[in-house]
Each structure stands twice: as C-alpha cells, then as structure tokens.
Amino acid sequence: MAALQPKMFLVFRGWVWMELISRTLGMLIITYFWRAVYENTTTISNLSLQQTINYVLLAQLFASIAMNSAIFWAGWWIRDGSIIIEMLRPIDLQLQVLIQLVANNLTALVTSLPVAILAVLFFGLRLPTDPLVWISFAISLALGQLVIFFFDWIYLCLVFYTTEVWGLGVFREGVTLFLSGALIPLQMMPDWLRNIALATPFAQALAMPVSILSGATPLDQVPRVWMGQLIWGIVGFVASRWLFRIAVRKVTVQGG
C-alpha cells in the first residue's frame, strides 16, 4: 500500500512540474513580502528577518504534509460504496490509512527537495548544521503528523452523518493554513489568537517542528514541545478509536 502512493503521484508528470513552478513562485512572493515588512525594523515579535525568512520558507516546504487529510479518502469510499470493502479487509482501517498517508508525506518531502535547493540558493534559506536540531525536528515532525492524523480521523467521522466531504475538506484546509502557522509565525499573532492556535492540533503538525528547524525554538525547549505533542497524540488516538466505532454504525453509501 505504501509503495503505491508515490507511483500514483508521479504518474501525473504535468502536475509534478506545475507543483514545482507554483511553489517556487510562492516562495519568491513570500520572500520579497517579508523583506518589505522588515525594511524599517530589525525585529518583529523578537524574530529577526533571517529567522522569519527561514520560518516561512520552511513552512512552505512542509505545509503540503500538514494539508494531507484522510477525510477525502473517506468521502470517496462512501460515495462509491467501497467503504464496505475497505472495512472487510483483514487489516485495521485506521492503520491502513495511516500507512498510505505516511507514504504520501514521504513522497511530498522527496519531491520538495528541488524546491528546497532553490530556496537555499536564491531565497536566503539557511538550514541548521547541528545534527541535534535535525533529530529534534524529525521527532517533532513525526509526532505532529500523528497528532493531525488522529484529529482528521475524528473529523472524518462527520462524513458518516453528512455523506458530503468537499465542504468539510475545504474548511479543514483553510483552518489549517491559518492556525498551523503556514502563513505567518505564531509568535507574530496577538496573544489571544496565538493561544487559540496553540490549543489546536494544526500548530502541533507544522508550527512546532518548523520552529525547531528555523531556530525560533531553542533546543532546551524541545522536550516541552515533544511532551505536548505526545499528550495530544495519546488523547487523539483514544478519542479517534472510540468515536469511529460510534460513527461507523451510521455508514451509508450514496444511492443505496
């Protein structure tokens, strides 16, 4: 199942090239935007221009894995009735979807390498050289992806009641873009809004690991970040299993 995901992505070669071009243009716009913002100041919310550039470019590189959602798959299965087949397979459905999403995310990371090289060469991205930073980031990123996956599993339970997925998926993507820190660093938000963002799983999936890699979060604060993500993950796992068992009793397929 994992091996199928990169093959399904790469078969659309035009899409791969358009993804590369659009993300490069996006980084160009974001870089010059923040340079203009910092033209008359040296720091904003205790972040220098270089720290902000590092953060927003890294957020753009890793935003795609935070946007991957299981809700669309659940909607497709319910629409064509294949949800019954998926539930009858001799494998845990949640584990199956998790494996596919992990493979999708790894594919997205690999295909982001050309964009990352362009960001380093032309847009001022500075990657850390300390291996401890990279290890801390990798652990935080993995924990964050588990957090957002369990949230999505809870969220997709609504599909069993609505049989409509598009609106739910678009709403989730819009909220993720804003509250995950993909657009601006959470440190620049007002205190009340930042507290709301930190109280959601979206920040755990993107803002927390990217802050570590960009240098906005020092290494001595990393264990606290891990602990918060671990608590989120445990609660999300238990809640997602329990709520799915309730929601699946309402499974219907469109047209029958």
Kind and range of the H or E run holding 28: helix 13-37
Q: What is the pLDDT of residue 11?
A: 65
Above 90 in pLDDT, residue 237? yes
Confidence of residue 2 (pLDDT cuts 50, 70, 90): low
Beta bridge mates, 43? 48
pLDDT tens digits for range 36-83: 999 888 888 888 888 899 999 998 888 878 777 777 777 777 777 777
Confidence of residue 139 (pLDDT cuts 50, 70, 90): very high
Above 80 in pLDDT, residue 138? yes
Q: What is the pLDDT of residue 198?
A: 87
Dmax over CA atoms of the chain, in Å, equals: 63
Burial class (CB in 10 A: 0-12, 13-18, 19+), 139: middle
Helices 131-155 and 49-67 cross at an angle (nearest 10°) of: 40
- Assess contact for 147 and 233: CB atoms under 8 A: yes
- Assess contact for 2 and 99: CB atoms under 8 A: yes
Q: What is the pLDDT of residue 163?
A: 67
Confidence of residue 5 (pLDDT cuts 50, 70, 90): low
- Assess contact for 160 and 246: CB atoms under 8 A: no
C-beta contacts of 193-198 below 8 A and 24+ residues apart: none
Q: Who contacts 12 (Cβ-Cβ below 8 Å, separation ≥6)?
A: none
**Structural domain spans, the chain:** 4-250
Cα–Cα distance measured from residue 91 to residue 93, given in angstroms and rounded to the nearest whole number: 6
- Where do we find the tokens 């199942």? 1
- Between the CA of residue 69 and those of 66, 152, 187, what are the distances in Å? 8, 6, 26
What is the arithmetic mean of pLDDT over 87-115? Answer: 84
Cα–Cα distance measured from residue 5 to residue 9, given in angstroms and rounded to the nearest whole number: 6
- The alpha carbon of 236 is separated from its chain's Cα centroid by a whole number of angstroms, namely 16
Q: Which residues of 162-174 are buried (b: 16+ CB within 10 A; e: fewer)?
A: eeebeebbeebee
Q: Who contacts 207 (Cβ-Cβ below 8 Å, separation ≥6)?
A: 59, 180, 181, 185, 186, 197
Beta bridge mates, 48? 43
pLDDT tens digits for range 164-198: 777 888 888 888 888 888 888 888 888 999 899 98
Above 80 in pLDDT, residue 204? yes
What's the pTM?
Answer: 0.84
Q: What is the pLDDT of residue 44?
A: 87
CB atoms within 10 A of CB 10: 13
